[in-house]
Chain A
Amino acid sequence: MSRNAQNDHLTRLEQTSIHVFREAFANFRSVCMPWSMGKDSNVLIWLARKAFCGKIPFPLLHIDTTYEFPEMYEFREKAKVIHDIDLIVRVNEDAIRRGIGYATHDPVTVTHELKTVPFKAAIDEFKWDALVTGIRRDEDPTRAKERWFSPRSAEGNWDYKDQPPEFWGQFASSAPEGGHVRVQPLLEWTELDIWEYLRRENIPNPTLYFARNGKRFRSLGCHPITHPVDSPASNIDEVIEELKLTKTSERAGRAQDHVGRNSMQELRAKGFM
């Protein structure tokens, strides 16, 4: 693929994402962007800075499960300064006191308790009506049905059978009563687009994605349930070359997706990102 054609493609994706950011900021009273520190959410930060000419005009939210890789905490503090981020961090202290953890509980329970519960609590606390997420249509079949602006009910549920029509650049302009709208600027991006854009724009990103001792993380979650994949790709160019050839799914190393045939669907209907 020629460099120019590739740049045109990335620029088109970038410009559309910027438009989605701007429409969200113009339409909603109170916007927040959850930040996992992973590659997709780092691209989101970059796009938001482009959309708002340098400074992100809303807070970012990190739901800390306390099971992040140590490198991720380091990266969080570094990136916070580089991007001048207004960061809110939340931990479900109650669940931790109750002893919820990977040593004793199944991944779906832990994900629900340590991610979804504090996430909903933060939404209740701050009354955000729009949340910007890094969901991409190519990630998982259930995500293929998302909209740019996807309403969630007050309970955080996604009624994927009764979604608003979305056409001609007109998005849902208000949240359901008591609920919020998920704004998804990366919907049309693929995993490869993300990496090529990280490279083109030289965006700060954790080094866990690069191979050490023949293994690298392709997707990052809680360390007890996130497994590296076999890969010699030790820098961004090699990762991109590898992705051009691979046909295995990106989330293959994420255990909570594989517990039951329908686990992703269950997690998402309950409000998981």
Chain B
Amino acid sequence: MRTSSLSQPVSTSLPSVEDHRKMHVVVVGHVDHGKSTFVGRLLHDTDSLPNGKMEQVRKNCAIEGMEFEYAFLLDALIEEQEQNITIDTTRIFFRTKQRAYAIIDAPGHKEFLKNMVTGAASASAALLLIDAKEGVMDQSRRHAFLLSLLGVKQLVVLVNKMDLVDHAEATYRKIVVEYSAFLKTLGLHAVHFIPIAAKHGENVVERATKMPWWQGPTVTEALDAFAHEDDLTGLPLRLPVSDIYRFDHRRIVAGRVEAGAIRPGDDLIFQPGGRRSTVRTFEDWPGPESRSVVGTGGSASVTLAEQIFVERGQVASHPSSQPRVGREFRARIFWLGKEPLVPNKTYRLRLLTQNVEAVIAKIEKITDASTLESIQADSVPRDSICEVVVRTTRPVAFDLHHECAITGRFALEESGRIHGGGIILEARSEHAQRSGKVTSAERAARSGHAPAVLWFTGLSGSGKSTIAEAVERRLFDAGRQVVRVDGDDLRVSLNRDLGFSQADRAESVRRASGVAGLFANAGNIALVTLIAPLAADRAKARAALANHAFVEVFVDAPLDVCEQRDVKGLYAKARRGEIAEFTGISSPYEAPESPEVHIRTDQVSTEQAVELVLKALDKILAGKGEDWEV
């Protein structure tokens, strides 16, 4: 399953080395637009069929007096051949020279929508077939809508049966224009529209001689250009607890890392509940060595330093980047149940290993999945999509879908059977209806973290901005609200009236701390980069920001190193006397005596510096935790 995240852009560049990870690709499209024929042909043309399969199917066809069709290769179940429709999601393995694939052949018949969902939810990319003669049909639209809902973003459209329209480019163009416009309304974009004739293998693996006007890739070329699902190891840790094992003297917290990575020594917080402990060991069998890190997708067996209460359903994260915790959120749901989804009825909501009772508090919008038109109704019929407010009886730990898809989606269950799924669009504070001023706790609940100020001080050229930018990138990619307050930027705006005298420097520090305070009040993590050479000025800034988590980062490099770097050419100017009162040359720099973080940029890399800063931020926020938990 591809997971969308602002920080993980989809790359469609060709992998430079042979790629051995199996890619899951879903094949969808309107019934009878040729999916099974296409997959059968693909298997045949990539030489992926077992020995004798072709002959066996041909023989069976002869016995039953039917003409051979490539689709029969797939129709392993007799029922399918009788009805001429595919009934369930099947996985078929094949490989190109580039890599291995599992093709998920999803059904086209609309009553089997759930199988389509099952298939598409595990795919990293999709192929959607449109019959060149029939054109865009309701399921062509419906399937694309579901792909967008399930988060499958890599899409290639195959305009099939080109042989039935005399391989005419004009027919192909018409479909491209019509269907791209539709995809655009869903926020989807097809990487290619490939004209094919699956039955004859044209543009499947081999290039079609009958369509010389087509200069783009064949299907296998397009497949090989798909990127793998994102590696979520760079995201904040999300470790849902699957179980607690007490088979012997050990007490092991078991779970799969769904995002991020975990290491022995990590501080953890378990939400909902908010209890904290530290990872003592991984209990890997058979040993004797255990892993030093468990990344995304890995199953972890964790013992904790403290005997805290932990149960299945809780989500372990690092204290500085926790999931939200709440009982109410807005969601977009697809509903597959035979009975309609109705408000105020109790369902089970399953989000990772959490399983709680939930009701639909409000239906905001119902959409027909094929026409995408709004439906006016007080319940949600089968096979439609809706936007609703979900309210749970107990608090749930979650992320918004666009921040971390895997913790931002859930299934709805009734009588032990899954009937629908949804993605979380927006957290709703239970205090939202209250009047009065918005509290910092409400802001923190919305952003999912406490605000903070990180103050980077150091000589010009010491590396303040470089480190702050890298820290900003990491926090931003982790879904945090982060903003930089840069001294140089302030000089040309807010501080345009200030020079470099001691009084002006003090005023500049005062203004910067004021700006940082406003940003922090609004729920942000503010990164201030300012030389701020005098200890007294910095002490005042710290005092002014006492309401917030404050991390002073001393970015330290010897003067000669900074001068050698001289990125902006300022040291040279100062030496020539063109700049008066230049810190380090003609004006003093008072190094902080006890900064929270001290980075020697002549000795550590930017990456190491970022880790130091984030670790300190974790530590400070851990102490603040109780103040802002919902």
Q: Does B117 contact A (CB under 8 A)?
A: yes
Are A53 and B283 in contact, CB atoms less than 8 angstroms apart? yes
Residues of B within 8 A of A71 (CB): none
**Please, which residues of chain B bring their CB within 8 A of the CB of A160?**
77, 87-88
In the bound assembly, the distance between CA atoms of A9 and B285 in angstroms comes to 19
In this complex, which of A51, A167, A173, A261 has the most chain B Cβ atoms within 10 angstroms of its Cβ? A167
B411 contacts A52, C-beta separation under 8 Å: no
User: Taking the complex as formed, is B52 at the interface, i.e. its CB lies under 8 A from any CB of chain A?
Assistant: yes
The docked-state distance in angstroms from the alpha carbon of A270 to that of B21 is: 36
A residues 100-143 touching B (CB-CB < 8 Å): 137-138, 141-142
> Complex Cα distance A265/B121, Å?
27
What are the residues of chain A within 8 A of B52 when measuring CB–CB?
A: 248
Within 8 Å of chain A (Cβ to Cβ): is B96? no
Contact B114–A168 (Cβ < 8 Å): no
Tell whether A9 pairs with B118 under 8 Å between CB atoms, given A52-B245, A57-B247. no
Do B299 and A18 touch (CB < 8 A)? yes
Interface string of B389-424 (1 = CB under 8 A from A): 000000000000000001001110100111001000
Chain B 94-150 interface residues, beta-carbon cutoff 8 Å to A: 102, 114-115, 117-118, 121-122, 150
CB distance from B605 to the nearest CB of A (A): 25
Instruction: Check A235 for interface membership: any CB of B closer than 8 A.
Output: no
Partner of A15, one of B79, B102, B297, B406: B297
- A189-206 vs B: 1/0 string, CB under 8 Å? 010000000000000000
Give the residue among B87, B283, B299 with the most A Cβ atoms within 10 A: B299
Instruction: Please count how many residues in chain A sit with their CB below 8 Å of the partner chain's CB atoms.
Output: 51
Known contacts A49-B286, A167-B117; A26/B312 CB under 8 A: yes
Which one of A25, A168, A262 contacts B421 once the chains associate, using CB atoms below 8 Å? A168
Judge whether B297 and A9 touch: CB under 8 Å.
no
Q: How far is the CB of A195 from chain B (nearest CB, A)?
A: 16
Is B36 in contact with chain A by the CB < 8 A criterion?
no
Contact with A along B11-33 (1 / 0, CB 8 A): 00000000011100000000000
Q: Of the candidates A51, A161, A173, which one forms a contact with B79 in the assembled complex, judged by CB atoms under 8 Å apart?
A: A161
How long is the Cα–Cα vector from A51 to B284 in the complex, in angstroms?
9
Interface of B is mostly: mixed
> Does A80 belong to the interface (CB within 8 Å)?
no
B118 and A166 contacting across the interface, CB-CB below 8 Å: yes
How many Å lie between the Cα of A25 and that of B355 in the bound state?
Answer: 16
- Is A172's CB within 8 Å of the partner chain B? yes
Closest residue of chain A to B282 (Cβ to Cβ) is: A53
The segment out of B248-256, B454-462, B607-615 that lies at the interface is B248-256
Whole-angstrom distance between the Cβ of A227 and the nearest chain B Cβ: 17
* Given known A142-B76, A167-B118, contact A172–B417 (CB-CB < 8 A): yes
In the complex the two chains form, is A145's CB within 8 Å of B285's CB? no
List A contacts of B122 (CB < 8 A).
167
- Quick check: is B276 within 8 A (CB to CB) of the other chain? no
Q: Looking at chain A's contact residues, is the secondary structure mostly helix, strand, loop, or mixed? A: loop
| Complex-state Cα separation, A247 to B55, whole angstroms | 14
Q: Specify which chain A residues have a CB less than 8 angstroms from the CB of B159 in the assembled complex.
A: none
1/0 per residue A240-262: CB within 8 Å of B?
00000001110000000000011
**Complex CA distance for A165 and B150, rounded to whole angstroms:** 13
Q: Are A145 and B88 in contact (CB under 8 A)?
A: yes
Tell me the complex Cα distance, A237–B150, Å. Answer: 41
B77 touches A170 (CB 8 A): no
A23–B255 Cα gap in the complex (Å)?
A: 9
Contacts of A261 in B (CB 8 A): 60
Residues from chain A with a CB closer than 8 A to the CB of B486 are none
A-B contact count (CB 8 A): 141
Q: Are A164 and B353 within 8 A (Cβ)?
A: no
Query: In whole angstroms, how far apart are the Cα atoms of A89 and B421 in the complex?
Result: 42
Q: Given A163-B88, A164-B418, A172-B416, A5 and B20 touching (CB < 8 A)?
A: yes
B301 CB-CB contact with A under 8 Å: yes
Complex CA gap A168/B256 in Å reads 13
Nearest A residue to B257 by beta-carbon distance? A15
- A178 nearest CB across to chain B (Å): 13
- Residue B352, interface by CB 8 Å: yes
Whether B252 and A53, one on each chain, are in contact in the complex, defined by CB atoms closer than 8 angstroms, is yes
Distance of B107 from chain A, by nearest CB (Å): 11
Question: Chain B residues near A8 (CB, 8 Å)?
Answer: 20-21
CB neighbours of A161 from chain B (8 A): 79, 87-88
Q: Quick check: is A76 within 8 A (CB to CB) of the other chain?
A: no
| Contact A26 to B416, CB < 8 A, known contacts A9-B20, A9-B22, A18-B299 | no
Residue count of chain B within 8 Å CB distance of chain A: 61
Contact A165 B299 (CB under 8 A): no
Known A174-B416, A247-B51; contact A52-B352, beta-carbon cutoff 8 A: no
Q: Indicate if B242 sits at the interface (CB-CB under 8 A).
A: yes
Distance of B116 from chain A, by nearest CB (Å): 9
With contacts A19-B299, A142-B77, A165-B114 known, is A49 near B417, CB below 8 A?
A: no
- Given A15-B256, A22-B299, A161-B87, verify A53-B250 contact (CB < 8 Å): yes
Nearest-Cβ distance from residue B384 to partner chain A, whole angstroms: 15
Instruction: Report the nearest A residue to B405, measured CB to CB.
Output: A168
Determine if A99 is an interface residue (Cβ-Cβ < 8 Å). no
Cross-chain contact of B353 among A26, A55, A57, A247 (Cβ < 8 A): A26
**C-alpha spacing A160/B80, complex, angstroms:** 12
Asked if B65 CB lies within 8 Å of chain A CBs, one says no
CB–CB A265/B117 < 8 A: no
Per-residue CB contact flags for chain A residues 152-176 toward chain B (1 = under 8 Å, else 0) read 0000000011011111111011100
Bound-complex Cα distance A248 to B49 (A): 9
What residues of chain B lie closer than 8 Å to A25, measured between beta carbons?
243
What is the bound-complex CA distance between A119 and B219, given in angstroms?
46
- Give CA–CA (A190, B256) in the complex, Å: 23
Residues of chain B lying within 8 A (CB to CB) of residue A19: 242, 256, 299
Does B243 contact A165, Cβ atoms closer than 8 Å? no
Report yes or no: A141 in contact with B350, Cβ–Cβ below 8 A. Answer: no
Partner of B247, one of A9, A55, A147, A170: A55
Q: How far is the CB of B154 from chain A (nearest CB, A)?
A: 18
The 8 A CB mask of B260-302 against A (1 = contact, 0 = none) is: 0000000000000000000000011110000000000111010
Q: Does A59 contact B (CB under 8 A)?
A: no
| Residue ID in chain B nearest A165 by CB atoms | B114
B220 to chain A, nearest CB (A): 19
A12 at the interface (CB under 8 A from B): yes
Question: Do A265 and B77 contact each other (CB < 8 Å), given the known contacts A5-B20, A173-B350?
Answer: yes
B124 to chain A, nearest CB (A): 13
Q: Which residues from chain A contact B78 at a C-beta distance below 8 Å?
A: 262, 265
Evaluate contact between B285 and A49: CB separation under 8 angstroms. yes
Tell whether B601 is near chain A: CB-to-CB under 8 Å: no
A165 touches B245 (CB 8 A): no
Contact B312 A168 (CB under 8 A): no
Report the Cα distance A22→B239, complex, angstroms.
14
B91→A167 contact, CB < 8 A:
no
B171 in contact (CB, < 8 A) = no
Pick the residue among B93, B254, B286 that contacts A190 (CB under 8 A).
Answer: B93
| Chain A residue nearest to B51 in the complex (CB) | A247
Residue of A with least CB distance to B355: A173
Nearest to A11 among chain B residues (CB) is B298
Report if A144 contacts B (CB, 8 A). yes
Which residue of A6, A55, A137, A141 contacts B20 across the interface (Cβ within 8 Å)?
A6
Given pairs A15-B297, A145-B90, A190-B93, 19 additional interface contacts (CB within 8 A): A8-B20, A22-B256, A26-B242, A49-B285, A53-B252, A54-B247, A55-B248, A137-B91, A142-B76, A142-B77, A163-B88, A164-B418, A165-B418, A167-B121, A168-B411, A170-B350, A172-B417, A248-B51, A248-B52
Can you list 12 A-B pairs, Cβ within 8 angstroms, ordered by A? A2-B20, A9-B21, A15-B298, A18-B299, A50-B285, A53-B252, A160-B77, A163-B88, A165-B115, A167-B121, A168-B410, A170-B350
Q: 5 closest A-B pairs (Cβ-Cβ)?
A: A141-B76, A167-B121, A174-B416, A165-B114, A5-B20
